[in-house]
């Protein structure tokens, strides 16, 4: 077997996410089967597979959003940065501070650009109120990280909903950064964007590489190949293959992976 493929799957060194025997049911329907994964810190990992294969379900398990549905049942283990997220001592507010989420469609709040960036920071400041100058510095740093500062610095008091879709999605990412998450989950973050906007958000994702661990769900295999370092292929609620992205697209280790990549189904 390719030694690079072995190193990705078999050595749980500095894992950001570590799952063991993770299973999930929506009522009586089982959506995830025995998921065992190590996702490394500081890199971009993509999740690919046909619609309904469990990609988004898995993503939403990592910050426990699935639990909002009263008919979801989960067993198995998910560790994020070495901590069991289902430990009774884990507070959801703290988990979601550490694990940011970006959705398919941009969802800026109908308030100013500046207040959008500072919204999460205000929620998590634990009673400590930053000065106006400190808040301005926090907002500027976040907007610079998402490559948006130069475009919006002269209109920070304008409504965020007036931005283009590409800019709105970048702003939604910026909104996560002031609380200093370690992990960013992205569920089809470019699906609502045109090709130019998609290129800009992919550039941003690559720019954030190393500063954050990023797990991105995408139906766009060209995007997975361009914008991730490791890739996970899922099928019918199961992980079929997890390897370096280039290995998966050039020399997939499983027939099911090759069939999907070559367009024979899904």
Q: pLDDT per residue over 182-204, tens digit each?
A: 999 999 999 989 999 999 999 99
Q: Report the C-alpha gap between 183 and 212 in whole angstroms.
A: 6
CATH number, residue 237: 3.40.50.300
Provide the pLDDT confidence category of residue 2 given band limits of 50, 70 and 90: very low
**3-state SS record for the chain:** CCHHHHHHHHCCCCEEEEEEEEEEEECCEEEEEEEEEEEECCCEEEEECCCCCCHHHHHHHHCCHHHHCCCEEEEEEEEECCEECCCCCCCHHHHHHHEEEECCCCCCCCCEHHHHHHHHHHHCCCCCCCCHHHHHHHHHHHHHHCCCHHHHCCCCCCEHHHCCHHHHHHHHHHHHHHHCCCEEEEECCCCCCCHHHHHHHHHHHHHHECCEEEEEECCCHHHHHHHCCEEEEEECCEEEEEEEHHHHHHCCCCHHHHHHHCCCCC
- What average pLDDT does the segment 7-25 reach? 76
Residue 50 in this model has a pLDDT that exceeds 60 = yes
Q: Which two tokens stand for residue 52?
A: 């309904």
Q: Closest by alpha carbon to 29, among 64, 65, 57?
A: 57
Residue 10 within any structural domain of the chain: yes
Q: pLDDT per residue over 202-214, tens digit each?
A: 999 999 999 999 9
Residue 143 within any structural domain of the chain: no
Q: pLDDT averaged over the chain?
A: 90
Query: How many C-beta atoms surround the C-beta of residue 62 within 10 A?
Result: 22
| The pLDDT of residue 125 | 67
Mean pLDDT check: name the lowest of 87-91, 124-128, 156-160: 124-128
Residue 171 within any structural domain of the chain: no
Q: Which two tokens stand for residue 102?
A: 């970006």
| The pLDDT of residue 4 | 32
Residue 244 within any structural domain of the chain: yes
- What average pLDDT does the segment 60-78 reach? 91
Q: Report the C-alpha gap between 143 and 22 in whole angstroms.
A: 36
Provide the pLDDT confidence category of residue 218 given band limits of 50, 70 and 90: very high
- What average pLDDT does the segment 117-142 reach? 84
- What average pLDDT does the segment 169-174 reach? 96
Residue 95 within any structural domain of the chain: yes
Which residues span the domain enclosing 195?
Answer: 3-107+176-261
Residue 161 within any structural domain of the chain: no
Residue 247 within any structural domain of the chain: yes
Residue 156 within any structural domain of the chain: no
| The pLDDT of residue 70 | 84
How many domains does the chain fold into?
Answer: 1
């Amino acid at each position: 077997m390719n030694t690079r493929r072995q190193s990705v799957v078999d050595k749980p060194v500095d894992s950001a996410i570590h799952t063991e025997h993770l299973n999930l049911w929506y009522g009586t329907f089982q959506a995830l089967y025995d998921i065992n994964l190590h996702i490394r810190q500081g890199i971009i990992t993509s999740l690919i597979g046909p619609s309904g294969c469990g990609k988004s379900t898995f993503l939403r398990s990592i910050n426990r959003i699935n639990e909002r549905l009263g008919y979801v049942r989960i067993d198995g283990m998910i560790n994020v940065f070495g901590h069991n997220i289902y430990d009774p001592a884990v507070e959801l507010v703290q988990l979601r501070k550490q694990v940011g989420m970006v959705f398919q469609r941009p969802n800026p709040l109908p308030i100013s650009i500046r207040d959008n960036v500072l919204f999460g920071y205000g929620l998590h400041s634990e009673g400590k109120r930053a000065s106006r100058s400190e808040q301005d510095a926090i907002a500027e740093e976040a907007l610079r990280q998402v490559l948006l500062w130069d475009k919006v610095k002269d209109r920070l008091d304008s409504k965020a909903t007036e931005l283009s879709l590409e800019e709105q999605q970048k702003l939604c990412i910026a909104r996560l950064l002031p609380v200093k998450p370690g992990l960013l989950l992205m569920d089809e973050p470019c699906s609502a964007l045109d090709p130019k906007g998609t290129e800009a958000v992919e550039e941003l994702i690559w720019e954030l590489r190393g500063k954050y661990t990023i797990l991105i769900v995408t139906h766009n295999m060209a995007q997975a190949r361009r914008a991730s370092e490791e890739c996970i292929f899922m099928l019918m609620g199961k992980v079929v293959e997890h390897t370096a992205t280039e290995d998966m697209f050039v020399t997939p280790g499983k027939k099911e992976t090759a069939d999907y990549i070559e367009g024979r189904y899904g």
